[in-house]
Amino acid sequence: MNKDDPVYFVQKADHIDESTQQSLLVTDECNFWSSLSCSGNKRRQTNISILPNKSFFYQKRPRLYFDIHRLPYQSLLKLGGSKLTRRFVPSVKRAHGPGAIFPLTSAEQHLFSVDYHHEGGAHHWYIIPTSERDVLQRIIDHQNSSVCLDHGQLFIDPSVLDKNHIRYHRIIQHPNEFIVLSAGTLAQSFTEDASWSESIAFALPSWIEEGHVNVSVSSCQCNIPQDSLPETIDITLFKHELIQTYITSHLNIITNDTSLALKGS
């Protein structure tokens, strides 16, 4: 956006012209961000592909084994019935080389999400909790009129976050590691090398109880065509009593542990 605040816009290009740089060899985090800021006004490819409804996990394996497909069904989304849970499928993400960029996004309707690293170069994550959204939006608005934080429009140098005292988490994710993102969380990453990963959304009671569900998609400024947006989840399906029953039957781990301890003693 400007020299002092390295924030990058992500745009779809119809063709790749000569001023577009291929990704560079990434040796470490410092090297990555300085190579990006040194590229001046030149465009840089994000160098990623998203493959919706693809997965590295077999379906219908015995319940004994972890299966990423089952996460929405096991989560609070099950209260919406199979019509809702069927909509939630994993997406495979491909980074085509070193320095590939996954711009800033959050999960659909500010849900929780799980990200599984299958194979390839480490991912450097920058994870911004939902409590920092307002401050971040103000900084972005100050530089440029209301760019949306949620839909992959931005890629923010962590120095901008540091300078503005925005709290965030830095995580390096290696193959076979999972990252779980809480409701409303914003996240961006870059890769050290080509890689395969996978992600899926799910819900826990705090998604409703802390009001993340109420996000209005229509207020976003990205001009995403309405018909390509996912259908808004009907929150009237999530009645208070049903959430309580879900908590008792699925999340009451402490009670079970106590009973085990009593048995043991």
Residues found near Zn ion in the complex (CB under 5 A): 148, 150-151, 220, 222
Q: For Zn ion, which is the closer residue by CB, 135 or 220?
A: 220
Listed in sequence order, the residues at least 6 apart from 97 whose beta carbon sits closer than 8 Å to its beta carbon are: 22, 23, 47, 191, 193, 194
Residue 95 phi, psi dihedral angles, 5° rounding: -100, 125
Q: For Zn ion, which is the closer residue by CB, 100 or 148?
A: 148
Residue 248: Cβ within 10 Å count: 10
Query: Could you give the 3-state DSSP secondary structure of residue 3?
Result: coil
Element (H, E) at 30: helix 29-38
Q: Are 215 and 109 in contact (CB under 8 A)?
A: yes
Q: For Zn ion, which is the closer residue by CB, 172 or 222?
A: 222
Residue 138 phi, psi dihedral angles, 5° rounding: -65, -40
Task: Provide the minimum distance between the beta carbon of 4 and Zn ion in the complex, in angstroms, as a whole number.
Answer: 25
Task: Provide the minimum distance between the beta carbon of 81 and Zn ion in the complex, in angstroms, as a whole number.
Answer: 28
Task: Provide the minimum distance between the beta carbon of 200 and Zn ion in the complex, in angstroms, as a whole number.
Answer: 20
Task: Provide the minimum distance between the beta carbon of 144 and Zn ion in the complex, in angstroms, as a whole number.
Answer: 14
Q: For Zn ion, which is the closer residue by CB, 152 or 205?
A: 152
Task: Provide the minimum distance between the beta carbon of 226 and Zn ion in the complex, in angstroms, as a whole number.
Answer: 12
Q: For Zn ion, which is the closer residue by CB, 150 or 157?
A: 150
